[in-house]
Amino acid sequence: MKNILIIGGSKGIGHEIVNSLLDKNKVINISRTKLEDEHPNLTHFNCDILTDELPDLANVDSLVYCPGSINLKPISRLKLSDFRDDFEINVLGAVKAIQKYLPQLKKGINPSILLFSTVASKLGMPFHASIATSKSAVEGLVKSLGAELAPTIRVNAIAPTITDTELSSKLLRNDKMIEKITERHPLKRFLNPKEVAATAEFLLSDNAASFSGQIFEMDCGIVSFKI
């Protein structure tokens, strides 16, 4: 049974990842909001990744960093503070967690790190300047750390398209917007958090032992195809 640390597992994709892993793993969740779930394999720490000291943990086999942001504005309305805030939550928070738990990961069982990017890092999209900049940095971090930590620790990222979570609620707030977003994707659908969690579960498993430094685009075809 592995010890898997989830940063930001109280909501959205992070919460689905916690639920998908609990039956077969010891899961430690760190988030500002306490999980309502109770399970003998679940341990929770209330913590703000940006401002609080992270808890000391004896064993960490895998680290999943889920916090993110969707800050969509024209460049004329974006302030430097918007770029800083997005960079802090998406990049510096991940770096802080990795540096804190790297000694434990190096001693872990088939250890791995999983981060999250976005399709907007590959696909030029209006109003995504701040978030695309931050997530592109995440992808650079994956490549660099994947090389640096090989062969001991695998490092990968998932880059999902829009996913039906609370974070995306403003983009999916009515039937017209849902229809428009659906039609933009060649597969005529967008993601639900359970399928992203299933991909995360695979990438953390021993079945993914040959993957490192990879960005897995869960894009419903929007990056891959022009139809």
For residue 155, give the CATH number of its domain: 3.40.50.720
The percent of residues in the chain predicted with pLDDT above 70, rounded, is 100
Domain boundaries, position 16: 2-162+192-218
**CA–CA separation, 20 vs 14, rounded Å?**
10
In a domain? residue 173: no
| pLDDT 10s digits, 109-155 | 999 999 999 999 988 889 999 999 999 999 999 999 999 999 999 99
In a domain? residue 155: yes
Go through 126-147 and write b for each residue having 16 or more CB atoms within 10 A of its CB, e for each that does not. Answer: eebbbbbbbbbbbbebbeebbe
Number of folded domains that form the chain:
1
In a domain? residue 171: no
Say if residues 159 and 121 touch (Cβ distance below 8 Å): yes
Confidence (pTM): 0.94
Residue 25 has pLDDT above 80, yes or no: yes
| pLDDT 10s digits, 39-80 | 999 999 999 999 999 999 999 999 999 998 888 899 999 999
In a domain? residue 182: no
Spell out the residues 6+ positions from residue 145 whose beta carbon is closer than 8 angstroms to its own.
Answer: 98, 113, 153, 155
In a domain? residue 32: yes
In a domain? residue 92: yes
Say if residues 8 and 18 touch (Cβ distance below 8 Å): no
Query: What is the band of 178 on the pLDDT scale with cuts at 50, 70, 90?
Result: confident
